Amino acid sequence: VISTMRDKSIFLAASALTAAATATYLPSLASAFLLPSATTSFSRNSKIINHPSSAIATAASRRKHLLPLSAATTSSTTTAASSSRTTSEELIPRSILFGNPENTSPILSPDGKYLAYLAPSPDGVLNIFIRDLQSDKSNGSNDKKNDRMITNEPKRAIRSVSWAYDSQTVLYMNDFDGDENFHLFAVDATTIPDGENGEFPTPRDLTPGENIKAQTILLNYRYPDEILIGTNGRNPKVFDMYRCFYKTGELVLDTINPGDVIGWKVEDESFEVRGAVARNEVDSSSTVRIRKSADLINNDSGSNETEWRDVFHFPYGEEGGLLSFCPDNGKTGYITSS
C-alpha cells in the first residue's frame, strides 16, 4: 500500500510539472513556428526540441529562460531584415524576368529546307522568322542577318508556330488586342518580302468571324492540304470540328458537338473524327464515345455507323480517356485510366 501511494504521488507530481511546462512553452512554440526567423533562434538557443526527459526543470526557471528569448528573437529578426535589404541597383531588371527571348520555338519544315522560329521584331514584338537552310548565305552558321521576318504583328506577340505539311505554309494563332479570341492564321514562308519597305506576306485568317475562337488544331501528313480545326462559329458555347482546306481557305463543318463534348480524337489513317470525350455537368464525370465512321459513304454494313456510342465511363475523381486509335482502321484503341 505504501509503495502504491508513493508511486501515485510521484505520478501526480510529474503530471503537475508537465502541465506547468506545457502552459509555459505552448505560446512560445506557437510564436516560433509562426515566425520562420524566430524558429531558427528558438531551436538554437533552447533545448526544448531535443529535450531529454531527465532534464525537466521547474516552470519558474523555464519562464525565466523564455522571457529574454522573445526579445532576442525580435531583435535578431529586425537585424536580419535590415541587413538583407537591397538597393534599386541590385534588383534584377524587369526585362530579365519578363522580357522577350532572343529567339525561341524553332521548328523545321517537313522537307527540312527551312527553319521557322520566333524572335523580337525591331519594335520588340515576337514575330515569325524564316531561315533558308539550302541557301549558301546560311552555310550552317548562327548569323541571323539573312533570316527573313514573314509576319509583322505590331502589338500582340505570336506565341506558337507550326508548319503545314506542304513545307511552304506556316501556321500560327493570335488574338486581337488581347481579347483572347484566338484565330488560326496561315502565311507563305517562301515569299521573300521587302521588309525594309514595309512589305510582308499577307497572313490569311482561316477562322474568320467576330468572337470566334479556334482550338484543337490537327494535321496529318497523309492529307497535306487539310487541317481539322475546332471553333465555336456555329454556337459560341461549344466547339464543333471543321475541315479546313487552308490553301483556298474553304472551311467545311465536319462534326457537330452535341453540347457536352470537351475533346475530340482523330483516327490517323482516315483523318476522321472518330472519338470524343463528353463531360457530365451534373456530377463532373466523363464518358468516352466512339463511332465507326464519320461518313455515310463508308457504311458498307447497312447500319448507321456514324452514330456515337459510349464505350467507357470515368466517375468524378478518376482520370483517364481515349489515348489514340490503333493502326487497324480504328477498330481498337488505347484508353488510359487511373
What is the per-residue pLDDT across 63-88, written as a single tens digit (0 to 9) for each?
Answer: 444 444 444 444 455 555 555 565 66
Cell numbers standing for residue 48: 526544448
What residue has cell string 507550326? 162
- Spell out the alpha helix ranges (H) of the chain: 2-34, 36-45, 59-83, 94-98
Q: Work out the pLDDT band at 317, boundaries 50, 70, 90.
A: very high
> What average pLDDT does range 193-218 have in this prediction?
86
Sheet containing 104-108: order of strands: 104-108, 114-120, 126-132, 148-149
Q: Which residue has the higher pLDDT, 11 or 268?
A: 268
Specify the pLDDT at position 152: 93
Crossing angle of helices 36-45/2-34, nearest 10°?
140
- Higher pLDDT among residues 200 and 303, named by residue: 200
Q: Is 38 helix (H, G, I), strand (E, B) or coil?
A: helix
Residues β-bridged to residue 287: 278, 313
Mean pLDDT of the chain: 77
Q: What is the pLDDT of residue 88?
A: 62
| Residue for grid cell 514584338 | 125
Q: What percent of the chain has pLDDT over 70?
A: 67
pLDDT value, residue 140: 60
**Least confident interval from 14-18, 127-131, 216-220, 319-323:** 14-18
Distance from CA of residue 7 to its chain's centroid?
65
314 three-class SS: strand
pLDDT digits (tens, 9 = 90+) for 295-316: 644 444 445 667 899 999 999 9
Average pLDDT (38-59) is 40
- Pick from 141, 210, 203: nearest CA to 172: 203
Cell numbers at 320, concatenated: 483517364
- In this structure, of 39-48, 193-202, 249-258, 289-298, the range with the lowest mean pLDDT score is 39-48
